[in-house]
Amino acid sequence: MSYNDSRYLPMKNKSSFGKWFGYLGFDHFIAPFLIKLIYWVGVLVIVSAGIGGFFATFDMPQRGLGGVLLALIATVLSLLLWRLMCELLILAFNIYARLVEIRNLLSSRQERMDAYRKVPNVRALNNE
């Protein structure tokens, strides 16, 4: 399931106006899109800082190979941590979408049970 799958979001009207109203009424989230955008901006910033740190070690003769390796390791670890943080934010929206799906399934099940209870019991009527 995709976190932006409209089947799992509580939108009443699926027309183009309804979709815009979903954004305005906070029924449809734009945060997952923004998280992806911010993720790629963060990747560019981290890679740029890593490249800057890599070349900055050449200006400091006392750093040597250790500084170069440290810059590369710090860049890779920063990218992994940044990815993890963004995935956790997207996971929160996936959990919300799953909870909406469960709520919709439970409410439709409850409606079916209520409708079933309103139907008279045929066996009880025949036995009388």
Average pLDDT, the chain: 80
Which residues, at least 6 apart from 15, have a Cβ–Cβ distance to it below 8 Å?
A: none
112 occurs within a structural domain: no
pLDDT at 104 exceeding the cut of 60: yes
CA angle 111, 9, 93 (to 5 degrees): 125
Q: What is the pLDDT of residue 107?
A: 86
> How many angstroms separate the first and last alpha carbons of the chain?
51
pLDDT tens per residue, range 51-102: 998 888 888 777 778 888 898 999 999 999 999 999 999 999 889 889 988 9
63 occurs within a structural domain: yes
100 occurs within a structural domain: no
Its pTM stands at 0.63
119 occurs within a structural domain: no
104 occurs within a structural domain: no
Mean pLDDT of 9-31: 65
Q: What is the pLDDT of residue 61?
A: 74
Q: What is the pLDDT of residue 8?
A: 47
* Counted domains in the chain: 1
Q: What are the tokens at 1?
A: 């399931």
- Residue 47: give the domain boundaries: 12-95
Q: What is the pLDDT of residue 83?
A: 97
37 occurs within a structural domain: yes
